[in-house]
């Protein structure tokens, strides 16, 4: 997943664009989109190609078919101008959503505007890059990531900020929405991964000239010091339809996704010896279709199960942290689903990490 796509995931908790909006434009009308792009120090992003993606409808969800739809070049002052037809902004009767973004800098810094075109003249708000100036300081129990908010370099601007932690070689391992500096990143999220970095994001909305813009900023990435917390589930065995001898859900590869077979309703982790569990982290968790019950359960023998947490309202949270208060030593845990829809299944999971 590119940083731009991870940025969309990380910001989803801050701003979500949904809905299907009817286009109000004549397909033959001429449309002009203009704007300006600046560095953080307000110097122009000069003579630079800006990438433009176009969605299939107004939901601002971009796939490979709309990626890099067009590009437009800034002039020496950072200004750009793009000519479109009404038909370019439509898919049948629906208005399309557009994403216009600057190329990522060396440390991942970029700025992006998302908008739906419903007027013949679209003036994009000035896009000014933001670094966040992040730093990472280790403590006894984790890493504190400090940063400068968007308002530190763009006066009068308020925004929501988020942070993601990713392996440079493998991908995202955790995401934090609605954060303030400093962000306390516990060792439970980091475990013993060697090549971690934190990526900062900010998002705000602006309405101008009859157009609503969602402005997304990716700040500079910062390397995180390697930590050494290993969950007691590391190397534990697991069973689910189609499982093998080696369990990919407890191997320490925190972003390697497992795609389950149809009708998978149970995923079971068996510890080498019973432990009193205090915390569980589920990474990359996804289900398909509706569910009647979805629970995280524990067992002392692998036969009789007790509920530990309800997952039904969090089935598409991707990253789930569970505080466990059961004082009984457990030998097994499982994700258990009950569904009347035969199409339902636990569809994806990266890692289950259990801690005393």
Is the pLDDT confidence value at 124 over 60?
A: yes
Q: Where are the domains of the chain?
A: 3-223, 237-355
Q: In the chain, where does DSSP find H-type helix?
A: 3-11, 187-190
Say which CATH class 237-355 falls into: mainly beta
Which of the four pLDDT bands, split at 50, 70 and 90, describes residue 309?
very high
Contacts of 79 (CB under 8 A, 6+ apart): 34, 35, 36, 44
So what's the pLDDT on residue 19?
56
Under 8 Å between Cβ of 136 and 144: yes
Is the pLDDT confidence value at 80 over 70?
A: yes
The whole-chain average pLDDT of the chain stands at 91
Cβ neighbours, 10 Å, residue 266: 14
Is the pLDDT confidence value at 3 over 60?
A: no
Choosing among 1.10.1130.10, 3.40.50.300, 2.60.40.420, 2.60.40.10, the CATH entry for 3-223 is: 2.60.40.10
């Amino acid at each position: 997943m590119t940083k731009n796509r991870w940025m969309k995931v990380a910001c989803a908790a801050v701003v979500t664009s949904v809905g299907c909006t009817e286009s109000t434009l004549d397909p033959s009308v001429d449309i002009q989109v203009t704007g300006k792009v600046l560095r953080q120090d307000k110097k122009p992003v000069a003579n630079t190609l800006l990438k433009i993606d176009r969605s299939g409808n107004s939901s601002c969800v971009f796939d490979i078919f709309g990626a890099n739809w067009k590009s437009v070049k800034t002039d020496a002052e950072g200004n750009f101008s793009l000519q479109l037809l009404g038909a370019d902004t439509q898919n049948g009767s629906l208005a399309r959503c557009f994403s216009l973004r600057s190329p990522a800098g060396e440390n991942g810094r970029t700025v992006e505007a998302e908008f739906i075109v419903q007027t013949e003249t679209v003036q994009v708000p000035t896009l000014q890059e933001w670094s966040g100036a992040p730093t990472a300081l280790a403590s006894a129990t984790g890493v504190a990531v400090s940063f400068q908010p968007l308002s530190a370099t763009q006066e009068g601007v308020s925004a929501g900020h988020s942070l993601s932690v990713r392996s440079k070689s493998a991908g995202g391992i955790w995401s934090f929405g609605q954060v303030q500096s400093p962000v306390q990143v516990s060792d439970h999220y980091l475990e013993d991964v060697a090549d971690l970095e934190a990526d900062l994001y900010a998002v705000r909305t602006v309405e101008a000239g009859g157009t609503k813009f969602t402005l997304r900023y990716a700040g500079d990435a910062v390397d995180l010091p390697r930590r050494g917390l290993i969950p007691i589930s590391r190397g534990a065995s697991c069973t689910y339809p189609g499982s093998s001898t080696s369990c990919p859900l407890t191997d320490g590869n925190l972003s390697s996704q497992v795609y389950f077979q149809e009708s998978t309703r149970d995923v079971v982790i068996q510890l080498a010896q019973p432990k009193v569990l205090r915390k569980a982290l589920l990474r990359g968790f996804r289900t398909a279709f509706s569910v009647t019950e979805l629970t995280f359960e524990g067992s002392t023998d692998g036969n009789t199960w007790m509920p530990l947490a309800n997952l039904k309202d969090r089935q598409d949270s991707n990253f789930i942290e569970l505080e466990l208060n059961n004082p009984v030593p457990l030998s097994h845990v499982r994700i258990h689903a009950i569904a009347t829809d035969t199409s339902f299944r636990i569809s994806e999971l990266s890692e289950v990490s259990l801690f005393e």
